[in-house]
Amino acid sequence: MALDVREAVETETSPRPRREITTAFVVSRVAVLAVTAAILLYAVPPLVAAGSWVSLALLCAASAAIAFLYLTRRFVPAKYLVPGTVFLIAFQMFPVAYTVTTAFTNFGDGHRGDKDAAVTAIETGSVRQAPGSPEYSLTAALRGEELVFLLVDPKTKQVRLGDAKGLSPLAGAQVGVTGKVLSAPGLTVLKAPEAAARGKEISALAVPTADGVIKANGLSRAVEGKAALVYDAGCDCVRGNGDTWKADEGQGYFVNAKGEHLAQGWQVGVGLGNFARVLTNPTISGYFAGVLGWNLVFALASVLGTFALGMSVALALHHPRMRGTRFYRIALILPYAMPAFAMLLVWRDMFNRDFGLINQLLGANVDWLGEPGTARFGVILVNVWLGFPYMFLVTTGALQAIPRELTEAAAIDGATPWKAFRRVTLPLLLVALTPLLISSFAFNFNNFNAIALTTDGGPFPADSPQVGATDLLITYTFRLAFGAGGAQFGFAAAISVFIFAIVALISAVAFRRTRKQEEVYA
C-alpha cells in the first residue's frame, strides 16, 4: 500500500479542496443530526422521572459532543470513528461489563429489587382486614383542595368522613341506591373519571382508626386493615406475628432467630460467592469435566463435519465439467435459508422412536434421543446438516480466489488430483478459512439452540437428573441457573464468565497457530 511519491507531493502542494456547500448537503446533515439528537433526548423524561442526574449529565455531555463534532469541519477521522465506537460501547462493552458485575451479586428471583422495595412488599403483603370490620362503600370527595373519603357502612347506611386525622360523622349527605354518596354539604363529590385521575392520592390516603387504617380498595370500596409485619428502622428489622426478622446484608433477607427468612429479599453483593459455588459445589464441579469433554467433542465434530461436507460439495461444484451448478447451489442453500429454530424441532420429531420419519424409513426401532450414544450422534448429525451450507458458501468463495493455473501446474508436474488438493488447494483454502473455522468453533461451543430444541440435554441417567448426555456447558448452566431454584442471574453470570474464559483461551491459542500457518504458506 505504498503511496506513489508523486501523488503524495501533489496532494501536499495542491490547495485543500473546498467542497461546495449545497442545500441538499445542509439539509441532509441537519436531518441526520436532528434524528440523532431526537433519539438521545428521548431518554430525558424517563431519566428526570427516575432522578438519575449522573446519567442525565452524561447524556447531555454526549449530545453536546456529538453536535459539536459534526458541526465543525475538523476531526474528520473522528466523524467516522465515533458512531462505531458508540455502538461498540453500547452493544459489546456494556453487556460484558454488566454480566461481570452481575456475577458478583445475588440478583435473581427473591432478590430482584432493593431493600426499600422488599420492605414495602413485606408490609403491603401482610395487611389483613380487621376481623368483623365493615366493607365500606367508598366515595372520594374534595374538601377545598384536600382529598377525603366518604364512607358508607352498607349495613347501617351511616355516612362518615375519613381524612388523614381519622373518622368523623358526616350529616346531611345524600346516598344513592348503590351506596355511593351523591352529594354532601361543603364537599365536592368526585365523579368516576375525576376519581380515577386522582388514583394515586386515593391509594395513598390512610384513615387511622383504633385497630389500624382504612384504605381504599379500588375506587368504590374501602376496608379497614392492619399490617401484621412492620419494619423498624431502629433495629433494622421486621417485627410482627410474635417474631422478629433481622436484616442480613450478606444474604439480602430478613432472617429470624431460627434461621428462617421472609420471602421477599433484596439484591446484595456476594463477592466471589457465585464463582466459589461453581468451583466447590459437588453437583456442579463433579460434572464439569464430563460436560466440558462432550462440549469440545460436539463443537469440534460440528466444525470438522460441516467443513468436510461443505468443502467436498464446493469442490465438486467447482469442477469445470460440473453441469447444473446453479440448481445444486440453490438446493444446497435451503437448510441454511430455513429458520434453524423450526428445523431443529422438525428433526426432534423425526427422531421419535414410534412416530418419527427416520425409524419409519429405516424400518428400525431405535430410541434415537433416548440413548446417550445415538442422541449424541443425532445432535451432531442435525448440526452438520444445518451448518454445512455455510461452509459450502465460504469455501466456494475462497476457491474462486485460488487461480486454476496452480492446480494445472501441479498436474503437469505429475501430481495426482488428491496430491494437488492436499498440497496446493487445501493449504491455500485454510489460510483464508481458519479464522472462520475458529469463529464457527466458538459459536458451536455455545450452540444453545441445537441442544435445547432437540434433546434439551437428555437422555438423563436415572441416578443424576441434573446433567444429561448431550448437555453442553451452556445448556447445563441454563438448567442450573434458571431451572430449579427460579432465576438466578448472578450465578448464571458467574458461569458465563467461566465459559467466556474457556472459549477465549481456545480461540487465542487457535489464532496464534493460524499466524504461524500464514508465515509458512505466505
Partner 1 sequence: MRMRALGVAALAALAFAATACGGSQPASQSASSAAPSASASTSAAKSGGTLVIWADPSRVKPLKPFADQFGTENGVTVEVKEISKDNQTTFLTASEQGSGPDIMIGAHDWIGNLVQNGAIDPVTLTDEQKAAFSAKAIQAVTFNGQIYGAPYAVENIALIRNTKLAPEAPATIEDMIAKGKALKAAGKVKEVLCIPVGQKGDAFHVYPIFASAGGALFGTTSSGDPDAKQVLVGSPDSVKAFGKLKDLGEKGDGALRTSITNENYIVNFAAGKCAYLISGPWAMSEVKKGGITYDISAVPAFKDGKPATPFVGVQTFFVASKGKNKALAQEFVANYVTNKDVAKALYEADPRPPALTAALQEVQASDPDAVKFMDAGKDGIPMPAIPEMAAIWEPFGIAENAVVKGGDAPKAAAAAQKAIDGSLKH
Round to whole Å and give the CA distance between 83 and 89.
Answer: 10
With CB under 8 A, what is the number of residues at the site for partner 1?
87
Task: Note whether 227 and 240 are within 8 A (CB).
Answer: yes
Residue of 275, 241, 235, 223 lying closest to 106 (CA atoms): 275
Residue in 239, 353, 421, 442 binding partner 1, rule: CB under 8 A: 353
Residue 21 or 233: the one with the smaller Cβ distance to partner 1 is 21
Which of the residues 453 through 472 are near partner 1 (CB under 8 A)? Answer: 455-456, 458-466
Q: Which of 246, 485, 504, 508 binds partner 1 (CB under 8 A)?
A: 485
Q: Which of 8, 10, 28, 39 binds partner 1 (CB under 8 A)?
A: 39
What does residue 385 show for φ and ψ, rounded to 5 degrees?
A: -60, -45
Three-state SS across 191-244?
CHHHHHHCHHHHHHCEEECCCCEEEECCCCEEEEEEECCEEECCCCEEEECCEE
Per CB under 8 A, the list member of 192, 304, 362, 504 interacting with partner 1 is 192
Q: How far is CA 41 from CA 44, 45, 90, 136, in A?
A: 5, 8, 17, 47
Q: Is 21 in the site for partner 1 (CB under 8 A)?
A: yes
Separation CA 315–CA 310 (nearest Å):
9
Q: How far is the CB of 116 from partner 1 (least distance, A)?
A: 10
Q: Which is nearer to partner 1, 216 or 437 (CB)?
A: 216
Which amino acid does the sequence have at 202? I
Question: Among 279, 249, 246, which residue's Cα sits nearest to residue 260?
Answer: 246
| x/- map, 257-276, partner 1, by CB under 8 A | ------xxx-----------
Binding mask 307-346 for partner 1 (x = CB under 8 A): ----------------------------------------
Q: How is residue 469 annotated by DSSP?
A: T
Least CB distance to partner 1 at residue 321 (A): 46
Instruction: Please select the residue that binds partner 1; options are 34, 96, 362, 504, rule is CB under 8 A.
Output: 34
Applying CB under 8 A, which of residues 28, 101, 168, 203 lies at the interface with partner 1? 203
- Per CB under 8 A, the list member of 9, 35, 65, 501 interacting with partner 1 is 35
Among residues 443 and 460, whose Cβ is nearest to partner 1?
A: 460
Alpha-carbon separation of residue 83 from 62, 75, 199 (angstroms):
12, 13, 44
Residue type, position 64, single letter: A
**Residues within window 389-418 making contact with partner 1, judged by CB under 8 A:** none
Closest CA to 132 of 148, 155, 149, 109: 155
Q: Which is nearer to partner 1, 131 or 185 (CB)?
A: 131
Set of cell numbers at residue 168: 368523623
- Which candidate, 457, 441, 316, places its Cα nearest to that of 387? 441
- Of residues 55 through 74, those in contact with partner 1 by CB under 8 A are 67, 71, 73
Residue (306 or 477) nearer to partner 1, CB: 477
| 357 touches partner 1 by CB under 8 A | no
Asked whether position 127 contacts partner 1 by CB under 8 A, the answer is yes
User: Cell numbers 355516612 label which residue?
Assistant: 159
Among 109, 232, 236, 408, binds partner 1 (CB under 8 A): 109
Q: In terms of Cα–Cα distance, which of 389, 498, 490 is closest to 440?
A: 389
Binding test (CB under 8 A) with partner 1, winner from 283, 285, 360, 416: 283
- C-beta separation of 344 from 456 below 8 A: no
Q: Indicate the residue among 41 and 89 with the shorter CB distance to partner 1.
A: 41
CB of 348 to partner 1, least distance (A): 8
d(CA 259, CA 245): 9
Question: Nearer Cβ to partner 1, position 421 or 460?
Answer: 460
Integer Cα distance of 227 and 206 in angstroms:
12
State which of residues 112, 239, 318, 329 lies at the interface with partner 1 (CB under 8 A).
112
Judged by CB under 8 A, the stretch of 123-131, 144-152, 173-181, 324-332 that binds partner 1 is 123-131
Binding to partner 1 (CB under 8 A) within 148-177 occurs at: none
- Closest CB to partner 1 among residues 225, 387: 225
Distance CA 391, CA 261 (A): 55
Q: Work out which of 47, 135, 180, 449 binds partner 1, going by CB under 8 A.
A: 135
Burial class from Cβ neighbours inside 10 Å (0-12, 13-18, 19+) for residue 139 reads buried
